[in-house]
């Protein structure tokens, strides 16, 4: 990678940092007719596929703490977008990046691109365009993928009687944040795992692909399980009962020893997990169990879709709790 510094701060945009680093990320994909270097990219969309498009911006001090390591930021900025493609059952293909930087800091940019590039390589995604601007640190990513026409997973579609599932172990990322902010303590090994779950979420792409045709609805958990499940329930015009005792816990979270109320809050209201929450008929239970085994990923049945609207929680003692619309303050005690 050439290490040419622009003459002045004003040059950051014209200079095209993105252009300088493109070889690191511009993978040769046969469906990229024209990548970075012209006014726009030309992408080949296969016949009978739909283009799936999503975009997300991360702003310093709002979506990530100032001082977040650049490499982790690069990873996460891409991960949150790939997670949205995963939730649609899409195969990720291309990505565009808009970087707003307070100053030209090639060390930052290199570290950022290392994180971004590592995840892009893992999923075979090509960077096909981008832009750099000077301003308060912010990262905008647009991710593009494809699905066979008509087969995308959606938030709508949950049916009465469907099983409700979640992947992985929700609450880990929120525990990582609580550890960083000193609201929770954990042994060093558990801390490393939980902070990594916050900073390097794994978009569940393979799971999204496997759920096409098996799940009736799907969403990725970015704002917390209760809130995101709420979107699915409202979209489907249905309700659900969630079994708190069934919520899968990681060993790392257990090692942090949150009390019952704190754990429930982390697992239901903690954001940033980027797991998938989905519904499926009982007839899909066996195929879903096979998917879990193949992907070596926990897929846990945590409840049932019901006609009665709203989300109801059942504790280990069988006691039912109605979750307020305002959500997790309920557990804040
Ligand atoms: Mg989403």
Q: How far is the CA of 229 from the centre of ligand 1 (A)?
A: 11
For residue range 251-271, list pLDDT tens digits in order. 999 999 999 889 999 999 998
Q: What percent of the chain has pLDDT over 70?
A: 88
| E strand or H helix at 286 | helix 285-295
Six token digits for residue 116:
């971004």
Q: How far is the CA of 223 from the centre of ligand 1 (A)?
A: 9
Q: How far is the CA of 29 from the centre of ligand 1 (A)?
A: 26
- The pLDDT of residue 18 is 63
Pairing state between β 239-243 and 320-322: unpaired
Q: How far is the CA of 110 from the centre of ligand 1 (A)?
A: 28
Q: What is the mean pLDDT of the chain?
A: 89
Q: How far is the CA of 86 from the centre of ligand 1 (A)?
A: 9
Distance CA 114, CA 116 (A): 6
Q: How far is the CA of 38 from the centre of ligand 1 (A)?
A: 31
pTM of the predicted model, to two decimals?
0.90
Q: Which residue has the higher pLDDT, 105 or 255?
A: 255
Q: What percent of the chain has pLDDT over 90?
A: 72
* Residue 275: C-alpha distances to residues 142, 153, 205, 220, 287 (Å): 20, 15, 10, 6, 19
Per-residue pLDDT band for 23 (boundaries 50, 70, 90) equals: low
CB 142 within 8 A of CB 95: yes
Neighbours of 116 (CB within 10 A): 29
Distance CA 85, CA 93 (A): 10
| E strand or H helix at 126 | strand 126-134
């Amino acid at each position: 990678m050439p290490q040419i510094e622009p003459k002045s701060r004003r040059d950051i945009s014209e200079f095209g940092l993105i252009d300088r680093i493109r070889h690191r990320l511009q993978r040769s994909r046969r469906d990229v007719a024209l990548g970075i270097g012209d006014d726009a990219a030309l992408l080949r969309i296969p016949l009978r596929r739909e283009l799936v498009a999503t975009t997300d911006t991360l702003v310093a001090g709002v979506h990530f703490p100032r001082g977040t390591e650049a490499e982790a930021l690069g990873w996460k900025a891409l991960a949150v977008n790939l997670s949205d493609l995963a939730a649609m059952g899409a195969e990720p293909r291309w990505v565009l990046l808009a970087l707003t930087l307070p100053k030209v800091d090639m060390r930052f940019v290199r570290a950022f691109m290392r994180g971004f590039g590592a995840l892009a390589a893992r999923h075979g995604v090509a960077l096909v365009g981008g832009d750099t601007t000077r301003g308060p640190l912010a990262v905008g990513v647009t991710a593009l993928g494809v699905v066979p026409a008509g087969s995308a997973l959606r938030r709508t579609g949950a049916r009465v009687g469907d099983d409700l599932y979640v992947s992985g172990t929700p609450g880990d990322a929120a525990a990582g944040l609580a550890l960083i902010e000193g609201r929770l303590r954990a042994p060093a090994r558990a801390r490393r795992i939980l902070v990594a779950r916050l900073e390097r979420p794994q978009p569940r792409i393979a799971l999204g692909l496997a759920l096409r045709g098996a799940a009736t609805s799907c969403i990725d958990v970015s704002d917390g399980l209760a809130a995101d499940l709420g979107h699915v329930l409202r979209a489907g015009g249905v309700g659900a009962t969630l079994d708190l005792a069934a919520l899968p816990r990681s060993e790392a979270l257990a090692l942090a020893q949150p009390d019952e109320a704190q754990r429930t809050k982390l697992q239901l209201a903690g954001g940033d997990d980027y797991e998938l929450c989905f519904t499926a008929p009982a007839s899909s239970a066996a195929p879903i169990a096979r998917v879990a085994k193949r992907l070596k990923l926990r897929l846990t049945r945590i409840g049932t879709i019901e006609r009665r609207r709203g989300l109801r929680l059942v504790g280990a003692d069988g006691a039912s709790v109605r979750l307020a619309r305002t959500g997790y303050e309920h557990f804040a005690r």
